[in-house]
Structure 1
Amino acid sequence: MEDRRVKLADVARVAGVSRASASRALNGGYGVSAEVRRRVREVADRLGFEPHGAARALATGRASAGSRERIEIVIVDPDPQALSAKPFYGRVLTGAAQALAGHDVALELKLVPAPPSVDGDPPFGRILINMPPLPAAAYARHGRNIALGASAPGVPFVAPDNRGGGHQAAAHLVTTGRRRVGAVFGPDTPCARERQDGFLRMMAGAGLTVVSAHGDFTRATAYAAAKQLLAREPRLDAIFAACDVSAMGVLQALREAGRRVPDDVAVVGFDGSALADAADLSSIFMPAEEEAASAVQHLLDPALPPPARLPTALTVRGSS
């Protein structure tokens, strides 16, 4: 005999929302507005929808922790070892986990080499890292999202003051008397472009020309870029690296070239990670944990004001 009982999919279709949104509206979950919650419940009452007891337990997370609402952190990075090679990602996870303390929301990590297709049954929210503009815009139409760093128009983001940090690094090198300056900038991403812009603007204001090369925020490409810089300008007396991982490659190239740090060449990185502390590296500190926590708070409550740029600060160590 055909089962004519009204199903959740029927409620979602009539209410004009996804099945996941209908479930959240009926069970008091995160991620739906008051208007959607009201509309879904009205449709459910009108159709005579009666959720199955076991299904309700699963939807509300009472049956198992694995069925809780979840926030995905989607990292687009072609390096399969990125999580261990780039401290920034670990700091993001730490900040996000701390912000979710006390909330019945799971945290899920996805490291992918290219932007994944949009899921038809989206999670409660996503934090997008290194997501190019076009896919980020597509994601914005499927669930609640926020990017770390500027992305597509219409996609909210939280980011540090990258330009200000680049300016601080340049000002430090100029005021300490460095005049033959090189830089290993990052890939073609908003945060890397902002750091480069802040650094170059300050150097131009001081009347200095920067010899530059680009890497991809990995040690290997920064090492190759630093060797290229030294071949082009052997008398460099300072190098700015656009992240601390890149700075490790710069330091390796300088050691192999017999250049002393900081006597011959000063080095400044960007991130303020544990790498900088361990290597006695001067670095621009950016509050990655606070950045991730702010993103989570915005997902939990989109009514909050748009996240502001987070301040950066130079920590001077032995490398400069």
Structure 2
Amino acid sequence: MKDQRPTLAVVARTAGVSRASASRAINGAYGVSETVRRRVRTVAAELGYEANPVARALATGRGGADRRERIEILIVDADPAAMSAKPFYGRVLTGAMRALGDLDIALEVRRVSEAPRDEALQDDTDPPLGRLLINVPGAAGAAYARRGRVVALGRSAPSVSFVAPDNDSGGFQAGVHLVTSGRRHVGAVFGPATPCARERRTGFLRGMAGAAQSVTAVDGDFTHARAYAATRELLAREPRLDAVFAACDVTAMGVLQALREAGRRVAADVAVVGFDGSALAEAADLSSVYVPAEDEAASAVHRLLDPARPAPPRLPTTLTVRGSS
């Protein structure tokens, strides 16, 4: 005789929620409101639904008692050394763990060289409670948003909630600092074609608008190697170079190395200002725009846990002047 017991999918459809939300409501997991939890459980009782832990374990590869909710941090970065070379990601993890506190929710970190295509997401049969997106382009961000709860660090697609620092203001502060300190032959190593890098560029150029000369600029990619090569290019194009804006602190490290090898004294001959305010900046006595990355990540995780939480304003950025400028 065919088993006519209602499935979780039937419960979800009847309750008007996704299958993942129905599962969380029934199992008492995080990520659904109390109203949804009560509605799903009422529907399950009326339909006579009973969870089958053996079937769930076979389907997911994780047994009931061992199953933990998780938040995935998805990073798109082509640099294979990104996780060790870029302090920003470690600061994001620190903020995310701070937000989770003692909650029994796992963090899962995944770095990919490029964002998955929409069709590749069709096999996403065991979605996490939510995803924190970093450097994920708009189209891919929108695809993830259609399949579950997501928050991006920095702007993504219009349909994707995001948390971001005031990059434009930070870039503006760096530009004004170089202008008011008397630098007149200014170069810049900007970042890749991401929203945060474009905002830093726009703010910096706005801050430089009071200077008499134009900025000699080279595009970078937030890596040490590219910044080193870009600085050598700047020196060749503008021998009188007396200042460089680096769009992140990792970029600034490449700038500093190239200047030293060229025999240019930092600050005395060429001022350097970075962006991020990471431990690299403090160790290198580098002037840098501080970005509250830990607060940014914590705010994003809070929004994943409670989508009804109001979107935060842009987080403030502050230039810290040190010996490099």
TM over 0.5: yes
Q: Aligned partners of 1:112, 1:57: CA distance in 2, in Å?
A: 28
Q: Which moved more, 1:47-56 or 1:226-235?
A: 47-56
Paired residues of 1:27 and 1:56 also in contact (CA < 8 A): no
Distance 1:68 1:61, change over 3 A: farther
Equivalent in the alignment of 2:286: 281
Contact map agreement 1:98 1:293 (CA 8 A) in 2: yes
- Deviation string 1:11-69 (CA, Å, 9 cap, x unpaired) is 234445443221112122222345543443343123211224677999999722xx111
Task: State yes or no: 1:145 paired with 2:150.
Answer: yes
Q: Secondary structure at the match of 2:49?
A: coil
Deviations along 1:268-314, one digit per CA (max 9) or x if unpaired, are 00001111111111111101001000101111112211121111111
**Structure 1's 53 and 139: CA in aligned 2 closer, same or farther, altered over 3 A?**
closer
* Structure 1 residue 259 corresponds to structure 2 residue 264: yes
Aligned to 1:160: 165
Q: Aligned to 1:179, which of 180, 184, 190?
A: 184
Amino acid at match of 2:246: A
User: Which AA in structure 1 matches 2:7?
Assistant: K
Superposed CA deviations along residues 129-185 of structure 1, whole A, max 9, x for unmatched, are 000001101111111110000111021111111010001111111111111100000
The alignment partner of 1:146 has SS state of: strand
Are 1:291 and 2:296 an aligned pair? yes
Say whether residues 1:95 and 2:95 are aligned partners. Answer: yes
- 2:128 matches 1:133: no
Q: Structure 1 258/53 Cα, relative in aligned 2: closer, same or farther at 3 Å?
A: closer
* Map of 1:73 onto structure 2: 73
User: What 5-or-longer segments of structure 2 have no aligned partner?
Assistant: none
1:203 correspondence with 2:208 = yes
Q: Residue 289 of structure 1 aligns to which amino acid in structure 2?
A: E
Give the match for residue 26 of structure 2. Answer: 26
> 2:22–2:40: 8 Å Cα contact kept in structure 1?
yes
Taking the aligned partners of 1:296 and 1:54, their CA distance within structure 2 comes to 31
Taking only the aligned residue pairs, the percentage that are identical comes to 71
TM-score in terms of structure 2 length? 0.91
Asked if 1:188 corresponds to 2:193, the answer is: yes
Comparing 310-319 and 182-191, the one that deviates more: 310-319
**Which is worse superposed, 286-295 or 55-64?**
55-64
Give the aligned residue type for 1:255: R
The two structures, once aligned, show a CA RMSD in angstroms of: 2.2
Q: Judge conservation of contact 2:72–2:128 (CA < 8 Å) in 1.
A: yes
How many correspondences in the alignment? 318
Larger mean Cα displacement after TM superposition, 119-128 or 51-60: 51-60
Match of 1:63 in 2: 65
